[in-house]
Amino acid sequence: MKKLYIIILAGCVYTLLSTSCKKVLNKQDLTSASPDLIFGDSVLVKQNVDFIYGQNLPNWYGNTGGSVSSTLNGICDEAYNDNKFMQGTLTNNDVNDIGSSNTSGPYNKIRIINTFLRDLAAGKLTPDTKKRFAAQVLFWRAYRYFDLVRLYGGVPLVLTPLDAVGDANKQAALLPRSKTSDCIKQIVADLDSAIKSLPQRWPDSKNDYGRITSQAAAAFKGRVLLTWASPEFNPTNDRARWQQAYDANLQAKNICDAAGNKLMPDYAGLWFVEGYSNTEAIMVTGYNSATGDQQKDNNGYDLSTRPAYTGTGNPSVSNQPIWEMVQSYPMLDGLAPNASTKYPYTLQSFYKNRDPRFDKTIGFNGCNWPINSNNAFRLWTYYYTDPSSNKIVTTEPITGSATTTGFYLRKAIDPTLAAANVMYSGNDWIEIRYAEVLLNLGECAAEIGNLNQGQEAYSALISLRQRAGVEAGGDGLYGLAPTMNHDQMINAIMLERKIELAYEGKRFWDLRRRNMLQSTLNGTRRSGIRITLNAGAPASLFPPYPGRDQLTADAAYAYFTITPVTLDNKYTLNVQTSVDFFGIPTATISSDPNILQNKGWGGSFDPQQ
């Protein structure tokens, strides 16, 4: 046991002692401390809790550190990535989060959590203090188990630290998989304990911002039960599960409302408001903009996303929106492209009169994009024929770094950062925001039949479209049909989730839980666009671009040809149905013969039970 605590305490170099749970790294040598000393001292217990935060807080895009998380945008219809998921060649060894060799994986983190809970209970702190510490750590145990369950279905449910010393203990540690329903039940129980014992806000708003609150635990419970009720896990459409999910998400909304949470007025700006004044942020991972090696905890997102010539110097910019995603946005009146008579849609004017979230998410050729504190900056991604070489070249000023899709992602890119400070961007990641709470509740409401105007399904969609700046229309429905049946409402909610939560790491999981991965992706090829300058264009559109930024987009586009370009040149997308639950790695089954393989991967374990 002492050896384990040496590991934990050595990890306390990552503990929170300042502005949020990951803002500042503080190194201390606590390796000689004993468990008895630790759990009699609330300061040392807090440092252990902070280490658990550091191990488990998600990164940008909701990356939990697993096999799938690092490619979330590229395994759905948001961005392009050539990978086994899209090719249809994924094996059971490619998603190895439960792998026996994954020494830093979920079960290592769960063991640290379980050991902490055991020794906290035996410690000498007051009961109320213990509850407050335990509640935070129980949240992270639920978080880790949910991450495993949504990958594989049921997994071995370990709630106390196992002792692997000695043959008998090693044999006892060879546990079978628990039923998925039992895992969900335990996750919910841990979250209920967290909801009951955690505050709506922590009293030290500076140093404790980012700690899990009662509303974060409730909102996460709502996400868990929404997933459990969805078709991936609920093939018979058991209405009782949807009712349970509805109740949980209604509880989450009520707790959030009581705490003062609500939509921020500015969809684009909500990412740049830190602390409790950000009423939309429910669960947050904090970062900082420090430059010193001992203090910095920069998010890396801004550096890897914005155009290279705006300050990153990074030739391999990622997160580029694909054409299919760009086309998904409604028009300004909330109607789909080609369905609006007020705002006709054409290929040549794809950028005009769209849902305002389009301009705040998609960086497109000719758009005004305030960046580097330059409110007049214009983004140009077109190609032209160089008269000196007669070759077609890009207008982007860094050779070899032009966008491959024709677009850039501008969501959550800080417009006030100076170019020299892009690499130190410290904007926080918001894993759960109030918008998701509304959408989760709206979807569950639709599934239990609450489809009338004024009920949660309509209310969620209207609230988000109203905040976005979509036109209300004469009926005040923001482009929504006045009477929608179940399927129409679910389609409307899924589109709203796609637009509202775009590039936040949610789309893959949404498609998967609704059994929509194959129907949405298979047989298609992802695309970008190539914008080429026509012959006879004015001199302002050629280097050195005299007066180009003074042209309106409409004036410039009169001289462009827009051509969709296929990105998947080698194959059409072919997501396997077995990807709905990933296979257990061979090494895991070899090391623990009690672990059964999933159905669909040659085994008998039913992850839907």
Cα–Cα nearest to 436, from 468, 409, 464, 413: 464
pLDDT at 106 over 90: yes
> Could you tell me which of 56, 63, 107 has the C-alpha nearest to residue 212?
56
What confidence category does residue 398 fall into, taking pLDDT thresholds of 50, 70 and 90?
confident
State whether residue 363 is helix, strand or coil.
Answer: strand
DSSP one-letter string for 289-346: ---STTT-----HHHHHS-GGGTT--SS---PBPHHHHHHS-BTTSPPTTT-SSS---
Residue 14 pLDDT > 50: no
pLDDT in tens, 341-364: 999 999 999 999 999 999 999 999
pLDDT tops 80 at residue 450: yes
Cα 181 from Cα 210, distance rounded (Å): 30
CA distance 244 to 544: 62
Is residue 212 a part of any domain in this protein?
no
Work out the angle at residue 351's Cα, subtended by the Cα atoms of residues 307 and 559, and round it to the nearest 5 degrees: 85
Alpha-carbon separation of residue 277 from 7, 154, 183, 259, 274 (angstroms): 37, 39, 35, 12, 7
Assess contact for 56 and 144: CB atoms under 8 A.
Answer: yes
CA 147, 152, 158: angle at the middle one, nearest 5? 65
| Average pLDDT estimate for 256-285 | 97
Instruction: Check pLDDT > 50 for residue 43.
Output: yes
H or E element, residue 19: none
Residue 457 lies inside a defined structural domain of this protein: no
Give the integer Cα–Cα distance in Å for 436 and 443: 10
pLDDT confidence of residue 7: 34
* Dihedral sign computed on CA atoms, order 591, 592, 598, 602: positive
The answer to whether the CB of 21 falls within 8 A of the CB of 210 is yes
Burial (CB count <10 Å: 0-12, 13-18, 19+), residue 88: middle
pLDDT tier for residue 167 given thresholds of 50, 70 and 90: low
Cα diameter, the chain: 83
| Mean pLDDT, all residues of the chain | 91
Instruction: Convert the pLDDT of each residue in 462-521 to its tens digit.
Output: 999 999 999 999 999 999 999 999 999 999 999 999 999 999 999 999 999 999 999 999
Please state the rounded mean pLDDT for residues 530-552: 95
Specify if 542 maps to a domain: yes
- In sequence order, the 6+-apart residues with CB closer than 8 A to the CB of 89 are none
Report, as an integer, the average pLDDT of 581-600: 94
Rounded CA separation 44/9 (Å): 9
Closest residue by Cα to residue 496 from 535, 466, 522, 453: 466
Residue 283 lies in a domain: no
Is 335 part of a structural domain of the chain?
no
Position 20 pLDDT exceeds 90: no
What residues form DSSP beta bridges with 386? Answer: 391
pLDDT the model gives residue 458: 98
Residue numbers of the domain that contains 379: 316-322+365-419+527-566
Tokens 């990978």 -> residue: 83
**Is the CB of residue 223 less than 8 Å from the CB of residue 509?**
no
164-169-171 Cα angle (round to 5) = 105
> If 0-12 CB within 10 Å is exposed, 13-18 middle and 19+ buried, where does residue 609 land?
exposed
Q: 523-539 pLDDT, tens per residue?
A: 999 999 999 999 999 99
Give, in degrees to the nearest 5, the angle at Cα 61 between 56 and 66: 50
- In angstroms, rounded to a whole number, what is the distance separating the alpha carbons of residues 542 and 553? 15
Determine how β-strand 429-433 pairs with β-strand 408-409: unpaired
Ranges assigned E (strand) in 338-474: 362-363, 383-386, 391-394, 408-409, 429-433
CB contact set of 294 (below 8 Å; sequence gap of 6+): 25, 27
pLDDT at residue 3 above 50? Answer: no
Q: How confident is the model at residue 23 (pLDDT cuts 50, 70, 90)?
A: very low
Q: Confirm whether 385 is domain-assigned.
A: yes
Q: pLDDT tens digits, residue range 236-254?
A: 999 999 999 999 999 999 9
Q: Which helix (H) or strand (E) holds 564?
A: strand 560-566
- Name the residue with tokens 């947050």: 284
Total number of domains in the chain: 1
| 559 in a structural domain | yes
Question: Is the residue at 562 inside a domain?
Answer: yes
Instruction: Output 593-597 pairs: Cβ under 8 A, ≥24 positions apart.
Output: 593/174, 594/174, 594/175, 594/176, 594/177, 595/156, 595/176, 595/177, 596/176, 596/177, 597/92
Mean predicted confidence (pLDDT) in 551-555:
95
